[in-house]
């Protein structure tokens, strides 16, 4: 458990319509904006904070914006291909790797730059990271899947920095275009516990049949400022042990993914980390549900409605998932 300077507040996000993404009040400053619409845009500064555009919505009407809010004034900046916003306690960083024939090298370069920036700005502690990539299940010119090539580049950087087995909650999901987009949240300090799911082999130990380098992420991250903590739940799918279950059956995959989340945020798992009380699926918010096949969207919506709070922020996105046999993946945050 890491625990240094305890920040005064926890960063929060809201889902809004894209047109409403930049609304601020004197008490609410914008740390970063991620739009999910029918086109992509590389990270840039807009009104002094970072904004990045991901192509994940099917049409212009069903897009949304994930907006990270801070009660403190935000300073924006750029460092090479990275755009960032920070407020003295937290930093939001976004970067972009254009489409390339060499994702291992490009990923290494991008991750190295991120780690260098976080060190120099003084926010070394990453507690959540998201990656969206086009052609995630396609083969590279070397004949390896793009996702696996990304994992090779990521693993190399983290090995060099001694961080291979000490990563936070993450998402890696397909996008409809643009190469690889990464965004993350990091802090100066705070209580952080990276959590594994007892039903799943830690991704760090996946066998090599899933790729030459294992993925580096935790199933969830507990993060606490000077007050109640939050649990950031990684993109979670129908995996037991290291195996994909229920091939071709979206309903059973969806229920298993939900069960895996219930396990990771429940009392049984959290008590092993001294993080009681546990939580249930009705406590999850800022939920993103990724569905591989458009024809499964309604079915997945109906199943999710059985478990999640009617007041939760929830979006359903048509996207590819990092294993070609996975049909659905779900992430969220317990406040
Ligand atoms: C899985 O459980 C599904 O490579 O960082 C989910 C979240 C997945 C993050 C990553 C991969 C990653 O293996 C895939």
98 in helix, strand or coil?
A: coil
Centre of ligand 1 from the C-alpha of residue 172, in Å: 6
Report the distance separating Cα 310 and Cα 300, nearest Å: 15
| Residue from 169, 215, 241, 242 to probe ligand 1 pocket by mutation (most atoms less than 8 Å from CB) | 215
* Catalytic residue list contains 329: yes
80: phi then psi, degrees, rounded to nearest 5: 55, -125
Residues 6+ away with beta carbon under 8 Å from 105: 153
Q: In the numeric block, which tokens belong to residue 136?
A: 């995630």
- Is the CB of 217 within 6 Å of ligand 1? yes
- Is the CB of 172 within 6 Å of ligand 1? yes
- Is the CB of 206 within 6 Å of ligand 1? no
Given the residues 66, 149, 196, 329, the one annotated as active site: 329
- Give residue 2's pLDDT: 58
Describe the strand order of the beta sheet including 12-16 as a list of residue ranges: 12-16, 64-70, 29-37, 49-55, 41-46
Report the distance separating Cα 34 and Cα 174, nearest Å: 15
* Three state DSSP letters for 152-192: HHHHHHHHHCCCCCCCCEEEEEEECCCCEEEEEEEECCCEE
pTM of the model: 0.97
pLDDT in tens, 51-84: 999 999 877 677 999 999 999 999 999 999 999 9
pLDDT in tens, 119-166: 999 999 999 999 999 999 999 999 999 999 999 999 999 999 999 999
Count of CB atoms within 10 A of residue 67's CB? 24
H-run or E-run covering 267: helix 267-272
Q: Which domains occur in the chain, in start order?
A: 12-235 (3.30.1330.40)
pLDDT in tens, 165-179: 999 999 999 999 999
C-alpha dihedral (253, 288, 112, 121), degrees to nearest 10: -150
């Amino acid at each position: 458990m890491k625990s240094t300077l305890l920040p005064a507040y926890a960063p929060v996000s809201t889902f809004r319509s894209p047109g409403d993404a930049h609304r601020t009040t004197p008490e609410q400053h914008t740390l970063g904006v991620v739009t999910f619409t029918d086109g992509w845009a590389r990270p840039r500064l807009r009104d002094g904070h970072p904004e990045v555009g991901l192509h994940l919505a099917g049409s212009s009407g069903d897009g949304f914006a994930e907006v990270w809010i801070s009660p403190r004034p935000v300073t924006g900046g750029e460092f090479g291909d990275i755009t960032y916003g920070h407020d003295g306690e937290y930093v939001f960083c976004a970067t972009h790797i254009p489409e390339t024939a060499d994702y291992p090298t490009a990923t290494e370069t991008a991750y190295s730059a991120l780690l260098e920036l976080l060190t120099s700005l003084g926010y070394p502690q990453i507690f959540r990271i998201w990656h969206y990539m086009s052609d995630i299940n396609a083969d590279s010119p070397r004949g390896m899947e793009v996702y696996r090539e990304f994992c090779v580049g990521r693993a190399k950087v983290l090995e060099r920095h001694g961080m291979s087995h000490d990563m936070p909650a993450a998402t890696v999901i397909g996008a409809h275009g643009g190469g690889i987009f990464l965004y993350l949240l990091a802090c100066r300090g705070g209580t952080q516990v990276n959590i594994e799911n007892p039903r799943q082999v830690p991704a760090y130990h996946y066998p090599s049949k899933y790729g030459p380098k294992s993925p580096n992420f935790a199933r969830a991250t507990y993060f606490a400022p000077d007050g109640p903590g939050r649990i950031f739940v990684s993109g979670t799918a129908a995996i037991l042990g290291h195996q994909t279950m229920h091939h071709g059956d979206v309903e059973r995959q969806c229920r298993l993914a939900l069960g895996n989340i219930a396990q990771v945020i429940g009392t049984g798992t959290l008590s092993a980390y001294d993080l009681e009380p546990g939580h249930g699926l009705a406590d999850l918010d800022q939920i993103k549900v990724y569905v591989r096949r458009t024809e499964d969207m309604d079915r997945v919506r109906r199943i999710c409605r059985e478990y999640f709070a009617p007041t939760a922020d929830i979006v359903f996105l048509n996207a590819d998932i990092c294993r070609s046999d996975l049909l659905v993946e779900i992430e969220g945050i317990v406040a």
